[in-house]
Structures are given as structure tokens and as C-alpha cells.
Amino acid sequence: MKKAFEPIVNNNSKILILGTMPGEKSLQLQEYYGNRGNQFWRLLCGVFNEGPKDDYADKIALLKKHNIALWDVLEYCEREGSLDSNIKNEVPNNFNVFYGKYPQIKHVLFSSKNAAVYYDRYVGRRPDIIYGVLPSPSGANATMTFLQKLDIWKIKILNIVSNT
């Protein structure tokens, strides 16, 4: 069984970005979105017009600076490789406890359609939270260019930031 990371969150977090489960490289490095082929950090830096962040502590600081929490829908699963399509015997994280501890989070953005599917299957949408789906930052998602993804990420994230 593979185990996901603890959430990156604090009492100032207003937005929660949810992935499915860390990939192999992320698990090896013990860092969210640790695979260099994944565009998550590059996209987030682009949203806020910040230069690239190589140090993981700087990446975490970027999240906290903009009141963004980061977590995964699944706590455990079996998976060969990093593809979500290979996930088996999954166990979701405990969102009731999470939302009880962080009631100020009113926006959830899924970093992929798969994350939304697992969330809907195991957690269900709450009426007090606004949900959205971002284009997957995975290098395997070649249906959009980086700039097309960035445009959508900017619209969705900055719209929330400007209204909170």
C-alpha cells in the first residue's frame, strides 16, 4: 500500500487544491508534485507571476502566501507506477475531520478530473463549498499546451483569490 502525504494547510488557507495520489517520484522525494515533468509548480508560479521555485520550502511558502492548501483525495492505494488508471484498493482521506479543523476552506479545486471522480465517489460534494476542476498539470496530459493550462488556472484561481 502506498500512503499519501499529510496536507499542507494552515488556518489562513481558503482554497484547497486536491490531487488524486502522489506519483512514484513524489513519493520517493517526499514532495508534492515532485516529478520534474509535472507542471504543477510552474503553473502555480505562473498564476501569481512569480519566478520558478526550485527549493521545496519556497514552493510551500508560495502556497501559504496565497492561502492555498494542498492535499490528495486518497490516503492509501495500491498502484503500479504513477498512473491514476492503475489505482486499486483505494482508501480516501478523512475529509470530515479535515473540514472540521479548517472550516475557512470554502473552495476546492481538483488538479485533475480523476481527483474529482474519486472525491465524488468517496466524499461527496458539500453545499458550503464551491468546486472546480483544473486541467491536469501532469506531463502525460498533452491535450493542452502549458499556456492553455495556465490561462485556465489563472482564471479559476485568481477569480477565487480576488473574491475572498
| Active-site residue set | 38
Separation between Cα atoms, residue 35 and residue 38, nearest integer Å: 5
The three cell numbers locating residue 157:
484561481
Q: How far apart are the first and last CA of the chain?
A: 38
Separation between Cα atoms, residue 36 and residue 4, nearest integer Å: 19
Give the sheet arrangement for strand 74-79, strand by strand: 2-3, 74-79, 87-92
